[in-house]
Amino acid sequence: MIKKEFLLTFKGLNSRTSLWLMRQAGRYLPEYRELRVKAKNFMDFCFNPELAAEATLQPIRRFGFDAAIIFSDILVIPYAFGQSVDFIEGVGPKLSSLPLVDILNSDRLIFENNKLLNVFKAIKIVKDQLPKEVSLIGFSGCPWTLACYMVDQGSSKDFFKTRLLAVTRPDLFQKLINILADAVFLYLKHQIEAGAEAVQLFDSWVGLLPPDGVWKWSISPVSSIISKLKNYYPSIPIIVFPKGNYQTYADNYHIHKADAISADTTVDFSKVKIASERPYVIQGNLDPFDLLGATSALKNKVDNTLKTMQGKKFIFNLGHGILPETPIDNVYRLVEQVKAT
Ligand code: CP3
């Protein structure tokens, strides 16, 4: 019988610790770098179903992770709202200016799901080729994090423009969050229909918000996305990654009802609730930098985590994306060590 250890973890029926790594497809792999040059830019790469499927499968072939995550980016949603998205080498993403205030006032911010059909195509290709014991994860950014990139038009250290808009025009900002929540729901629903067996919601910038902001702009829209998805697909696991705000999500599990919370590197696993006291799975949270250090230190750290989390509704992952500088041998060692538990 083929066992999907990753999915079984959500039912408490796994026979060992399962693992996958955030950004497991990427520049640390020579085969990824070779594939990446076949597209003229990063967005074309994401929207080429064959290339995206191949990038998804590369880390599975090499390491045998328990889950694959569809190769794409959270910024395909701003693109589907009509913003152009360019990834500039060494700088990061740059989004075109959208006269958001005017557009929101005139109800002209339209999500064109059709622009994302190639993501669903890529999911179908991956599903045909994925080993049967490996699960496929779909994903999206959360409304707050997407709003950050859309309003600030790219990466930023403090997302000043977004936070300014949220406090000076809260009604308008609420409208943007609501429109994004509808789009994220639709996008994830289509990913599940195409074959995604679980989904992860990335709220990478929720750590910037004060407590009332976390409620308004993160937990509230994320809860509505989750409850709408659960109406259609009650058994598809939903993971949230509230980077910088694990505790608020852990304390309010009964509100958002995600099946798993992905912990960032700041969370101390010796202090998290034991399995019988929480219905959700915890995922995480090795510091990606630990994969750049001495192998003995890495081994000890992973051992500690595995001991602390043994039998505790746990999926091994990183606390943030794998770094391009990561030595591949350390990833092989990590997979072997985790799979042995
Ligand atoms: O393997 C996987 O995890 C699936 C693919 C994936 C990518 N981005 C591919 C990617 C996923 C799940 C993401 C999520 C994502 N993208 C997030 C949320 C998680 C997080 O990191 O907080 C965010 C904020 C983005 C936006 C984004 N994409 C930025 C800011 C950048 C530039 C920084 C960088 O690392 O280069 C990207 C680019 C990006 N997305 C790359 C990859 C593999 C690197 C670009 C390349 O290969 O040329």
- Whichever domain contains 206, its CATH number is 3.20.20.210
Residue 312: pLDDT band (50, 70, 90) is confident
Structure tokens at 71: 């190769």
Q: Is the pLDDT of residue 338 over 90?
A: yes
What integer pLDDT is reported at residue 283 of this predicted model?
A: 98
- pTM of the full structure: 0.97
- Cα 73 to ligand 1 centre (Å): 6
HSE-up (13 A, CA, CB side) for residue 59: 29
| Mean per-residue pLDDT of the chain | 96
- The alpha carbon of 13 is separated from its chain's Cα centroid by a whole number of angstroms, namely 24
pLDDT tens digits, one per residue of 20-63: 999 999 999 999 999 999 999 999 999 999 999 999 999 999 99
**Ligand 1, from 20, 21, 23, 42: best to mutate by most atoms within 8 Å of Cβ?**
23
C-alpha closest to that of 143 among 173, 180, 185, 188: 180
* H helix and E strand count, the chain: 16, 10
pLDDT tens digits, one per residue of 147-192: 999 999 999 999 999 999 999 999 999 999 999 999 999 999 999 9
Q: Is the pLDDT of residue 102 over 90?
A: no
Ligand 1 atom at shortest distance from the alpha carbon of 202: 18
Lowest mean pLDDT among 61-65, 217-221, 254-258, 307-311: 307-311
pLDDT tens digits, one per residue of 252-306: 999 999 999 999 999 999 999 988 899 999 999 999 999 999 999 999 999 999 9
CA–CA gap between residue 136 and residue 164 (Å, rounded) = 38
What integer pLDDT is reported at residue 263 of this predicted model?
A: 98
* Ligand 1 pocket residue status of 74, Cβ below 6 Å: yes
pLDDT tens digits, one per residue of 121-140: 999 999 999 999 999 999 99
Q: Would you report the helix, strand and coil content of the chain in percent, each value rounded to 5?
A: 50, 15, 35
* Ligand 1 pocket residue status of 155, Cβ below 6 Å: yes
Angstrom distances, CA of residue 138 to CA of 84, 188, 199: 23, 7, 5
- Cα 106 to ligand 1 centre (Å): 32
Note if 246 is an active site residue: no
What integer pLDDT is reported at residue 171 of this predicted model?
A: 92
Structure tokens at 106: 């005139």
Query: Nearest-5° angle of CA 227, CA 165, CA 169?
Result: 80
CA–CA gap between residue 308 and residue 303 (Å, rounded) = 9
Q: Is the pLDDT of residue 104 over 90?
A: no
What integer pLDDT is reported at residue 341 of this predicted model?
A: 87
Structure tokens at 22: 């955030």
Listed in sequence order, the residues at least 6 apart from 322 whose beta carbon sits closer than 8 Å to its beta carbon are 21, 22, 23, 24, 26, 28, 288, 291, 331
195-222 mean pLDDT: 98
Q: Is the pLDDT of residue 311 over 90?
A: no
C-alpha closest to that of 322 among 276, 283, 294, 286: 286
**Nearest 5°: phi and psi at 107?**
55, 40
What integer pLDDT is reported at residue 235 of this predicted model?
A: 97
Q: In this structure, are residues 33 and 42 in contact, taking their beta carbons and an 8 Å threshold?
A: no
DSSP secondary structure letter of residue 300? H
Q: Which domain holds residue 44?
A: 5-339
Residue 317: pLDDT band (50, 70, 90) is very high
Q: Is the pLDDT of residue 106 over 90?
A: no
Catalytically annotated residue among 32, 149, 187, 249:
149
Query: Nearest-5° angle of CA 321, CA 325, CA 327?
Result: 100
**Cα separation of the two ends of the chain:** 20
What integer pLDDT is reported at residue 222 of this predicted model?
A: 98
- Structural domain count, the chain: 1
How many percent of the chain have pLDDT more than 90? 93
- Cα 71 to ligand 1 centre (Å): 9
Q: Which residue has the tokens 């569809």?
A: 70
CA–CA gap between residue 266 and residue 335 (Å, rounded) = 22
Residue 7: pLDDT band (50, 70, 90) is very high
What integer pLDDT is reported at residue 216 of this predicted model?
A: 97
What integer pLDDT is reported at residue 121 of this predicted model?
A: 98
Which amino acid makes up residue 100? L
